[in-house]
Amino acid sequence: MGVSLCIFFTPRRGSFMRLSVSGAMQGASSLGVFLGKLVRGVVFGAASPFFDRVCVACGAHAEDLPICKRCADGISFLKGELNIYNKRHYRRLFSAVSYDGPVPALIKGIKYSKRRDAELLLDLLIRDELLANFSEIDAVVAVPSDPFRFFMRGYNPAGVIASHVAKRLRKPLLMRAVTKRRTPPQVGLSLAKRKENVRGAFYRPYLFPNDVEGRHILLVDDVETSGATLDNCAMVLKRSGAGVVDALTLARAL
């Protein structure tokens, strides 16, 4: 007595129509529902098979995953690079969007929720014309999480963004170029406290080969607020011999 599993998708990405189980298990509708959600979880990279079509920013129904139309319309895309008036260890800074409207909730969804549809969200936020500014880079480096936060989340939010950028640029992602000591969270700290909090927090792990020497590096983080995190991380890269360091963040607080 056989079992057949039929899955139907519409051509548009993210449109799941129906899943049916026939044969000996035709009556097991609950299993069919579970398998349907499991397949959707695999397709969209969700951490859980119980994946819902809801906006990551506001929780409303999202016809096109992972964000509803109202929140998508509220995103302010940035053009051009930030002028670095103060001397920093990175040469240029570009950011995809302004850190306002639905963007804080979107980034919080990447950082703290267990949703894993980040690739779809990053496709929306990081446009091709932004990445065109980095055609000359040699490699991509993510601003690292400290080991405790990495353990608790199971991933590095900046690493998710950096991996996405590296794939689209077709450049290597250097995983061990910089590491970080445990520090208090930056959230809620004043500008002066932010700078003090990350001073000396980053270092090169000398047990691994130096992959950055003489290379043009793109340093990636989620949000730029004071620039202190990027600058301290870029300083380590420059001291490790990196030729040029440019920076890219998903969002910038204006």
- Bridge partners of 180? 202
Going by pLDDT thresholds of 50, 70 and 90, the confidence category of residue 29 is very low
Q: Give the model confidence (pLDDT) of 43-93 as tens digits.
A: 444 444 344 578 888 888 887 668 888 999 999 999 887 655 556 899 999
Count, residues in the chain: 254
Phi, psi of 21 (to 5 degrees): -120, 125
pLDDT tens-digit readout, 185-236: 667 667 677 777 777 778 888 878 889 999 999 999 999 988 889 999 999 9
* pLDDT the model gives residue 110: 74
Domain ranges of the chain: 3-44, 69-252
pLDDT tens, residue by residue, 100-139: 999 999 888 777 765 667 778 888 899 999 999 999 999 9
Strand partners, 220: 142, 248
**Amino acid in the structure at residue 183:** T
Highest mean pLDDT pick, 22-31, 32-41, 135-144, 150-159? 135-144
pLDDT tens for 131-168 read: 999 999 999 999 998 877 777 777 888 999 999 999 99
The three-class DSSP label of residue 35 is helix
And the tokens for 42?
């695999």
In sequence order, the 6+-apart residues with CB closer than 8 A to the CB of 100 are: 76, 254
* CATH domain 69-252 topology: Rossmann fold (3.40.50)
